[in-house]
Structure 1
Amino acid sequence: MGDHTESSELTHEEREAIHEVEVGVEWLLRAYGHLLAFHHAVGHGMDHLDEAQGRLWAAGHETLADRIRDDILPRGVTADDRWTYSVVEEFQASFLTPVTDFEDEARAAVTGGRQHVAERAQERAWRKRAENGERIEE
């Protein structure tokens, strides 16, 4: 667990700004996870089509099997014929890595490298409220 006084020297704006950076990066990491899931789903679909190709040949449907072999299996998923692994690599190298590097830089400049300072402040406030038996008025 982190130092419980770590966000006291930050202004509200600093705490909120770094929180927005962190949450933005978390959403981009989720997008990256979805991109990986897309990559894996396409791969599984292609594996099934590869299996169908052999079964179609065995069943005497050579023309259909040849279409899978010649037109579908070698095809990329983008207009410029890139495969999903290439899209994943490009997203990671061209976008995600620079964004996470920025997050590290921003966190170092604003919080001295500490993570989740807004959440830690919220945790302290809620625990203090519980310890004091405070009630929220609506």
Structure 2
Amino acid sequence: MSEQRDERMPDPTDRDSGPDAAHRRPEGVDDATVEALGKLSEALEVMEQARGFLYGFHRLTGKADLALGEAVGLLRDAGHEELAERIDTEIVGRNVIEGRWTFQIVEDFDDDYYAAFKAAERDARDQLAEGRRHLFEAEMKEDRRTHGRRHHEARP
């Protein structure tokens, strides 16, 4: 008895036969759902970038505070005690937002907004597409690539 292959399923040994199983639309998932999940994925990617900027702000603010502390020491060494003392007591170690350093802002963001955002995106994928990611992009790749050309393969 010979095995018959479902023509909709790419040959797993053929790098040019389409997306791998993790990036193929599950049966019954319509175009509108794939588009909506694609937009949700895009929103999450933007949020990931925003989160990166927030962490960059956190790191740069901390680095600036440490450099400010060094500047205070140099001002003192140069004989500018009154100015050094004012900067040291008014700015070094100061909260960046009322009652908060940036690590507290990052923690609140991660635990509240970011965690809820990620969970919503994951729940939508789980509920609508068997948890599969980037279906919209995988189908866009299939549409845009030149089939059969080197550097346009569907998979590694």
Q: Which amino acid aligns with 2:76?
A: W
Q: CA deviation at 1:25?
A: 0.7
**SS in structure 2 at match of 1:110:** helix
Give the distance between the partners of 2:24 and 2:123, measured in 1 at CA.
18
Q: CA deviation at 1:125?
A: 2.4
Aligned with residue 62 of structure 2, among 28, 36, 43: 43
Give the distance between the partners of 2:139 and 2:92, measured in 1 at CA.
53
Higher helix share: 1
Equivalent position of 1:131 in the other structure: 147
Asked whether the 8 Å contact 1:19–1:118 carries over to 2, the reply is yes
Give the distance between the partners of 2:23 and 2:118, measured in 1 at CA.
26
Give the TM-score normalised by structure 2.
Answer: 0.76
Aligned with residue 53 of structure 2, among 34, 48, 65: 34
Equivalent position of 2:12 in the other structure: none
Distance 1:97 1:4, change over 3 A: closer
Matched, 1:85 2:89: no
Structure 2 residues without counterparts, runs of 5 or longer: 1-18, 150-156
Asked whether the 8 Å contact 1:75–1:81 carries over to 2, the reply is no
Q: What is the alpha-carbon root mean square deviation over aligned residues? A: 2.0
Q: Which runs of 4+ in 1 moved over 3 A?
A: none
Give the distance between the partners of 1:108 and 1:4, measured in 2 at CA.
13
Distance 1:91 1:57, change over 3 A: same
Distance 1:114 1:32, change over 3 A: same
Asked whether the 8 Å contact 2:26–2:129 carries over to 1, the reply is no
Q: CA deviation at 1:88?
A: 0.8
Query: Identity of paired residues, percent?
Result: 31
Greater RCO structure (CA 8 Å; 6+ sep) = 2
Give the TM-score normalised by structure 1.
Answer: 0.86
Matched, 1:66 2:85: yes
Equivalent position of 1:136 in the other structure: none
